[in-house]
Amino acid sequence: MAGGRRLRRLVLASGLAAVLVLAMLCIGDRLIERYAVAATLAPEDATWLRAPAARQMTAAAFADLDEASVVDHDVALISVGGQLPEAPTNNSRRLAPTGPLARLDRALVDRAARISGAPDRAGALEARYVSYLLRQITAMPGAYRGVIAGRDAGYDTAGHRLAKTNGQIIDNAHVAWLAAQRPRALAAAVSIHPGAPQAAQRLARWADDGIRRLAWWPGPQHIDPAGPAVRAITPVLADTGMTVSLTVGAVTDRLGARTWIAPASVAALLDRDVPVELRLGESLGPAGQVLMPELLALLRQYRGRAGLTINLGGLIATDDGRDLLVGLLQHPQFYDHLVYGSGYPESIVAERVRLDALVARGLIDSADRAPLADIRATNPLLFVYVLYRRLRLPGTDLRLPVSVFTAGS
């Protein structure tokens, strides 16, 4: 009986949550606009519409770069396979979200990235998305380069492409072409599943074309970083100097279930001198795993070796990520293993980054709130960068060094 009552309460709660989400979607523009969009002005208007305090804060964030470029290691592309003029065939696919919460999340991201309502044809969505991204980068007061990545499908252990996946498929050729059009603003990473047919040969060809970054999403792509498929292509990775960027921690697999990718699973790559960049998933695993202790153990093991870096992308946009960020800030001996990532476009959704909450946690000064809000009103990507420059370990004046933001420039 008790079990039946708990089940009924769970079903009722789930149903109410779905109704609330659907109500928000039906109410439409006003609520989506309120929770998604903080930028009410154009990036080009920044220099004359920002208050003096915001202009000073922005200038200070670029003053110590010594002509180096900011490198943003986490800029996501959104593509539905639309064809841009003079571009190669774009075989990207954006899969439809499943469930009301996922649909709401998609609506918030699309509105913040200025692609809400764009038709999924003739490259309209691609053009609108890339245009707004490049407008923000161009309006920066200093050099800024974002790393954009392809995203391969998943494959099984026999090398067969999996029919079901989640997220997106982003065409490598599309990514490389975009980066080639604006090489001072964009850098390309390709995504090749280690178990895909001719993976090693494809990697070598991209390396010959100058690509030095490889991106994996082990959950949806069904990749074991310590498995035989990765071991088979490790010699090529080592020979070409490719940096492998992948997510560790709790991730969602291709069927929507949570799984755990242990930080230690990349040890074999590091031991072969393959550079590895870790993106951080959720901190608590389905079997009680905890990310921060495992991450620190790996950092201690490879401390001082240039091949291991941790991408800070997106950590500011969730409570779980902010906890991980504080954990990393507590260990300045590992700051030289950190690299900046904005987590764009997730991190520009207004509701994801609440300045009042950051002040309450001691991550920024209360005096920073108004200038940061002013910056966000014109250029959300610049806002995320300046915010990371202003972050501090709560209760101290310890901040991330400039080297975190120029790594890879």
pLDDT at residue 248 tops 80? yes
Mean per-residue pLDDT for 130-157? 96
Mean of the per-residue pLDDT values of the chain: 89
The answer to whether 113 and 37 are in contact (CB under 8 A) is: no
Please tell me the predicted confidence (pLDDT) of residue 9.
Answer: 46
Domains, the chain, ranges and CATH? Answer: 2-406 (3.20.20.140)
Model pTM score: 0.90
Determine the Cα–Cα distance for residues 291 and 152; give it in Å rounded to an integer.
Answer: 25
Q: Look at residues 55, 38, 37, 56 and name the one whose alpha carbon lies nearest to residue 46.
A: 55
For the chain, percent of residues with pLDDT exceeding 90: 68
Mean per-residue pLDDT for 249-273? 94
Which token pair is 318?
């969730």
The answer to whether 240 and 208 are in contact (CB under 8 A) is: no
Residue 10 banded pLDDT, cuts 50, 70, 90: very low
H or E element that contains 260? strand 258-261
Q: Look at residues 386, 390, 379 and name the one whose alpha carbon lies nearest to residue 50.
A: 379
Q: Look at residues 311, 296, 232 and name the one whose alpha carbon lies nearest to residue 264.
A: 296
SS3 295: helix
Which token pair is 285?
């695993």
The residue to which tokens 């490889």 are assigned = 214
For the chain, percent of residues with pLDDT exceeding 70: 89
Q: Look at residues 3, 24, 38 and name the one whose alpha carbon lies nearest to residue 113.
A: 38
Please tell me the predicted confidence (pLDDT) of residue 35.
Answer: 66
pLDDT at residue 398 tops 50? yes
Q: For the chain, how are helix, strand and coil distributed in percent, rounded to 5?
A: 50, 15, 40
Name which residue leads in pLDDT, 155 or 5: 155
Please tell me the predicted confidence (pLDDT) of residue 122.
Answer: 57
- Rounded to a whole number of angstroms, the CA Rg of the chain reads 21
Please tell me the predicted confidence (pLDDT) of residue 46.
Answer: 66
pLDDT digits (tens, 9 = 90+) for 277-320: 999 999 999 988 999 999 999 999 999 888 999 999 989 999 99
Please tell me the predicted confidence (pLDDT) of residue 33.
Answer: 61
